[in-house]
Amino acid sequence: MVRRINQIVIIFALLITLVACASSDTDAILDQGKADFQQHQYKQAFEHLYPLAMEGNSDAQYAVGYILYTGKSGIADRSQGLEWIRKSALQGNPDAVKAWNILERQSNVTPSVRVTTTPAPIDSEDSDNQ
């Protein structure tokens, strides 16, 4: 029984280590993609950020959307760019919300989704205690 518990503890420790390594790898890739983006190296930024955008990272989604919408990487796809910007905005990314609302006003299309940032609702129990 003790041996089984030790095995479970070791497996759990290994899983935590793997998750920590994956997280730091993701952070490093995101940092590299952002640096590429800021240096106007849009093809490299796209290569770094697209996988993270697919995983749901809102910063990566916004950058990928911007790159696609503007064609900065040599590939212009406005509809895909808008979709990535919308996904990021729906997660509350402030740059994406601003961009989405500007792009929405510039288009002649009735918006399908209105994106705004709103404060989180106050829990009634918390407000009673204040």
Condensed to tens digits (0 to 9), the pLDDT of residues 3-39 reads 667 666 566 555 555 444 445 688 888 888 888 888 9
* pLDDT digits 0-9 by tens, 70-102: 998 888 888 899 999 999 999 999 999 999 888
Q: What are phi and psi of 56, to 5 degrees?
A: 105, 10
Write the CB contacts of 29 (distance below 8 Å, at least 6 apart in sequence): 48, 49, 51, 52
Q: Distance between CA atoms of 113 and 118, rounded to whole angstroms?
A: 15
∠ Cα 118 121 127 (to 5°) = 140
Count other Cβ atoms within 10 Å, centred on residue 35: 13
Domain spans in the chain, listed from the N-terminal domain onward = 2-116
* pLDDT digits 0-9 by tens, 97-129: 999 888 888 875 445 555 555 433 444 444 444
Distance of CA 18 to the CA centre of its chain: 22
Domain 2-116: CATH superfamily is Tetratricopeptide repeat domain (1.25.40.10)
Q: What global pTM score does this model have?
A: 0.66
